[in-house]
Structure 1
Amino acid sequence: MYKVANPDIKYTVAAQVGEDAQGLMVVGQYAIVRELGHGSFGTVYLVKHAVTGEMFALKEYHKASLRKRLQSTTMNTTPSGRGGGPMRPGRGGLFAARQRLLQQRSEEDADPFSLIKTELAISKKLQHPNLVRLHEALNDTEQDVLYLVIDLCEKGPVQALNTGSATSEPIPPKDAHRYFTQALMALEYLHEQDIVHRDIKPDNMLLTKDDTLKISDFGESTLHDQNSDMVHGSSGTPAFMAPELCQNEGGVSGEAADIWSLGVCLYSFIYGTLPFQGDSVIEIMDSVSAGKLHFPDPANEQLNELLLRMLDSNPDSRITIAEIRKHPWVTQNGTFALPSKRSNCKNSVTAITQEDVDSVIQPIFDIMPVILAVAKLRRFRRRIREKRERLEREAQERDLLLSEGQSAVTVQPDDLQQMTEDTQPDASLALE
């Protein structure tokens, strides 16, 4: 029912949600096996494809949370009526913000995936062994939820930080080096596609069963102009944010900010703690801005020198990926060779443009079939719910009569047969 921009990713506009014979919740063709963890906008589940039996991760997005984020971004970036800059409470600024929010809601009505269209536009073009791949996007109209089916990374985050103490078990140096270089290759590939991740942290670095690191979560990612990597607005996790973002100085180099975040990850890998800490977001950002580094092992000179250059408070003099490639700690004094940039970026795709973002899914001229299908799905669910409630009431009345020694009200076999027929999936409800 929708024209899909990339056939490799499926889009299910009205996903059927129910239960299978084993009592597992089913979303589209995916049975939810168990919960894997929580994200900022919802839960991540382990799921099994009903036909192929293949295992995936299912990422849940509550639309209400996405709308709040979008509204917050709009209110913070909409120009005022007096000539631009951050929007202030004024007639022109508030009116412009309201108009933008109304337009966004209209876009959502026409395209149920509009709330994550940037993430979809980015994901559909990425082909790299160290990036999580998106397979399908599903829209649940009943629960106001979006689901993304992505690669399963069985071992989870590369490092689990204690949120209270900002500490974790250090990763053995050999493994830390391997994970860091894999993340570096993924970041080089992203930057080559003019994509800034903006939320690099261990939670977004996942390990497969064969110990391959994959960077995930492009919800905060952004596209920049081919001639400049400047991005606007603060985004990400405070402890991993570059100081120029904490200081809210307007446009900053997105690629330099990603390198800073990767440097914080490397510090955490080796030393099992974060370099910049505090008891509140303000204290953390003050610590980041101060930029004072302490190295638990001063003898590790090569590593510490690399960290100093990655965590340089001046983005203009901060080390680049090309320079990191040649660093002696990365090359292990010439004994370790990274793939060439040409080889690493061999799956380079056409540049992602704003047009790609706007046309991830292009609605057909006649939207009525989609509306009718959604309405049919809701009626289908309502019939199941009403039938179940009626049978439960009759069972309660039967039990009451039995307890009083009277004749029981029985559920007729025809009713049970009809309920079974009503709960059979209708293939026409899942529009892909």
Structure 2
Amino acid sequence: MHEEDTSVKYSVTAEVSESNDGGMLVGDYTILDELGHGSFGVVYMAKSRKTGEVYAIKEYNKANLRKRQQMGMMRGARGGMPMRPGRGGLFAARQMLLKQQGNEEDSDPFYLIKTELAISKKLKHPHIARLYEVLNDTKHDVLYLVIDLCNKGPVQELSSTDAKASPLSAEDTHKYFTHALLALEYLHEQGIIHRDIKPDNMLLTEDNVLKLTDFGESIMPEDGGHKVKGASGTPAFMAPELCQDASEITGEPADIWSLGVCLYGFVYGELPFKGSTVFDIIDSISAGEISYPGPYDEQLQNLLSRMMERNPDTRITISEIREHPWVTQNGTFELPSKEINCQHIVDTITKEDVDNVLQPIFDIIPLINAFAKLRIIRRRIRDKHEAEQRAKDHDLPEDSEGNTKKQKEPKE
């Protein structure tokens, strides 16, 4: 039995065109429908013209990705803190970083998402959306990621304002929470911190299987450690330690806090921390007051309070969540063991993996350029030969480069 191919295909120049019936074509894929909008572009349902398989295609607008990249670079230049205007040397630092970014883009068409690609190409789990192909549309300045089709969309749409969503049923709440828990356990076992756990990144398949997606904010702590630098993610789901000025935090507890916020939303149809601005939301998180609307459920609220424990050192761990009575349904429900859940261990994802994720492309580009030059040379040779032949046939003079000169018209 052959091992499943988990490689990712990269298309450096993917053409976006129109089909005969007026539909949209992206490379070898026919766009069937629009599934929704993400923070960086549109998500489509698409069909492979080669295999007939149906996928989701995430569109990444490079302009938005560049803004995110620049913000991250400036935070790094400021020691992890947000950029503030009017500080000495900041303009020069920004210009330097923009130049560096431009040089990277010239040599690597996918550099804006290379960390996400390095992570995604190595993951294999039933509750994580698989990446199949990446396409670069140079004409429209867009990247496309071909992933597992999750055509039922986000498990829930929650707002950080006072707007409410429909709570999930008790059965669905437990089912989708355990799906997300298993995906998060698998990531953490690989040394990956997701950093943007939220319902928008939990998509449902036609068979109601939850798949975690979007690794654009994910990070792999250096040297196999657990410390991460800088705040990242969606404010309403951020742990309190991310709302402070700490230069480093432990990554796993922050993901667990975010999953606890998701569970709260599943149950109550709203978020525990809300506000009309980012600062309002941060103030709400910092205050730490959590209310529990609706019927009282001691086990559920105990789990929520432990997942949203303000101190990351005493926050509940995934191993402890596994044994919690609400998860086990008082011993009537059993999760797959950690050994089974994390059986597909991937190789350690190193900085070299990130830097070289598209190395085969770099080897191909010179060949593409060489063939393009060869075609131009062949065309010039062919044109010159045809010109010489016409000159012989019509006895026309040639210029110094072998081009036929147009004879002067006789004067009347």
**Which residue of structure 2 aligns with residue 282 of structure 1?**
279
Is the Cα contact below 8 Å between 1:141 and 1:374 reproduced in 2? no
Instruction: State how far apart, in whole Å, the 2-side matches of 1:300 and 1:226 are.
Output: 42
What per-residue deviation string (whole Å, max 9, x for no partner) do you get for residues 76-99 of structure 1?
21158xxx98777333x6545533
What per-residue deviation string (whole Å, max 9, x for no partner) do you get for residues 167-218 of structure 1?
2111111110010011000000001111111111111101111111000111
State the TM-score, normalizing by the size of structure 2: 0.84
**Which residue of structure 1 aligns with residue 122 of structure 2?**
125
Q: CA deviation at 1:373?
A: 7.8
Is the Cα contact below 8 Å between 2:161 and 2:274 reproduced in 1? no
Q: CA deviation at 1:368?
A: 3.9
Q: How does 1:76-155 map to 2 (within 5 A)?
A: 76-79=75-78, 89-91=87-89, 94-155=91-152
**Which residue of structure 1 aligns with residue 215 of structure 2?**
218
Is the Cα contact below 8 Å between 1:124 and 1:134 reproduced in 2? yes
Is the Cα contact below 8 Å between 2:160 and 2:274 reproduced in 1? no
Match of 1:247 among 231, 244, 247: 244
2:208 is aligned with 1:193: no
Is the Cα contact below 8 Å between 2:159 and 2:270 reproduced in 1? no
Instruction: State how far apart, in whole Å, the 2-side matches of 1:258 and 1:118 are.
Output: 18
2:21 is aligned with 1:22: yes
Rate the CA distance shift 1:314–1:60 in 2: closer, same or farther, 3 A.
same
Match of 2:179 among 179, 182, 194: 182
Is the Cα contact below 8 Å between 2:75 and 2:81 reproduced in 1? no
Is the Cα contact below 8 Å between 1:231 and 1:252 reproduced in 2? yes
Q: CA deviation at 1:297?
A: 3.7
Return 5+ residue gaps in structure 1 as ranges: 1-5, 377-432
Match of 1:170 among 147, 167, 170: 167
What per-residue deviation string (whole Å, max 9, x for no partner) do you get for residues 391-431 of structure 1?
xxxxxxxxxxxxxxxxxxxxxxxxxxxxxxxxxxxxxxxxx
Rate the CA distance shift 1:228–1:365 in 2: closer, same or farther, 3 A.
closer
Return 5+ residue gaps in structure 2 as ranges: 375-412
Q: CA deviation at 1:165?
A: 2.9
Instruction: State how far apart, in whole Å, the 2-side matches of 1:157 and 1:191 are.
Output: 22
Q: CA deviation at 1:277?
A: 1.0
* DSSP-derived class of the 1:195 partner: coil
**Which residue of structure 2 aligns with residue 157 of structure 1?**
154
Q: CA deviation at 1:357?
A: 0.4
**Which residue of structure 2 aligns with residue 384 of structure 1?**
none
Which one-letter code corresponds to 2:307 in the other structure?
Answer: M
Rate the CA distance shift 1:31–1:163 in 2: closer, same or farther, 3 A.
farther
**Which residue of structure 2 aligns with residue 207 of structure 1?**
204
Rate the CA distance shift 1:45–1:372 in 2: closer, same or farther, 3 A.
farther
Q: CA deviation at 1:249?
A: 1.6
Q: CA deviation at 1:246?
A: 1.3
Is the Cα contact below 8 Å between 2:33 and 2:46 reproduced in 1? yes
What per-residue deviation string (whole Å, max 9, x for no partner) do you get for residues 369-404 of structure 1?
44578999xxxxxxxxxxxxxxxxxxxxxxxxxxxx
**Which residue of structure 2 aligns with residue 32 of structure 1?**
31
Which one-letter code corresponds to 1:283 in the other structure?
Answer: D
**Which residue of structure 2 aligns with residue 333 of structure 1?**
330
Query: 4+ residue runs of structure 1 moved beyond 4 angstroms?
Result: 84-88, 93-97, 371-376
What per-residue deviation string (whole Å, max 9, x for no partner) do you get for residues 317-352 of structure 1?
110101111111111111111111111000011111
Is the Cα contact below 8 Å between 1:15 and 1:138 reproduced in 2? yes
* DSSP-derived class of the 2:52 partner: coil
2:257 is aligned with 1:260: yes
Rate the CA distance shift 1:7–1:169 in 2: closer, same or farther, 3 A.
closer
Which one-letter code corresponds to 2:132 in the other structure?
Answer: H
Q: CA deviation at 1:366?
A: 7.1
Rate the CA distance shift 1:255–1:161 in 2: closer, same or farther, 3 A.
same
Instruction: State how far apart, in whole Å, the 2-side matches of 1:27 and 1:375 are.
Output: 27
Instruction: State how far apart, in whole Å, the 2-side matches of 1:16 and 1:357 are.
Output: 26
Q: How does 1:371-386 map to 2 (within 5 A)?
A: 371=369
Which one-letter code corresponds to 2:39 in the other structure?
Answer: S
Q: CA deviation at 1:74?
A: 1.0
* DSSP-derived class of the 2:117 partner: helix
Q: In the comparison of the two structures, how many residue pairs are matched?
A: 367
Is the Cα contact below 8 Å between 2:174 and 2:327 reproduced in 1? yes
State the TM-score, normalizing by the size of structure 1: 0.80
Q: CA deviation at 1:48?
A: 1.0
* DSSP-derived class of the 2:265 partner: helix
Is the Cα contact below 8 Å between 1:57 and 1:149 reproduced in 2? yes
Rate the CA distance shift 1:189–1:166 in 2: closer, same or farther, 3 A.
farther
Structure 1 vs Structure 2 CA RMSD: 2.2
Which one-letter code corresponds to 2:33 in the other structure?
Answer: R
**Which residue of structure 2 aligns with residue 348 of structure 1?**
345
- State the structure with bigger RCO (CA 8 A, min sep 6), 1 or 2: 1
Instruction: State how far apart, in whole Å, the 1-side matches of 2:365 and 2:136 are.
Output: 16
Q: CA deviation at 1:248?
A: 2.9
Is the Cα contact below 8 Å between 1:44 and 1:60 reproduced in 2? yes
Match of 2:292 among 292, 295, 302: 295
Instruction: State how far apart, in whole Å, the 2-side matches of 1:337 and 1:366 are.
Output: 49
Rate the CA distance shift 1:364–1:241 in 2: closer, same or farther, 3 A.
closer
- Larger CA Rg, structure 1 vs 2: 2
Instruction: State how far apart, in whole Å, the 2-side matches of 1:366 and 1:47 are.
Output: 27
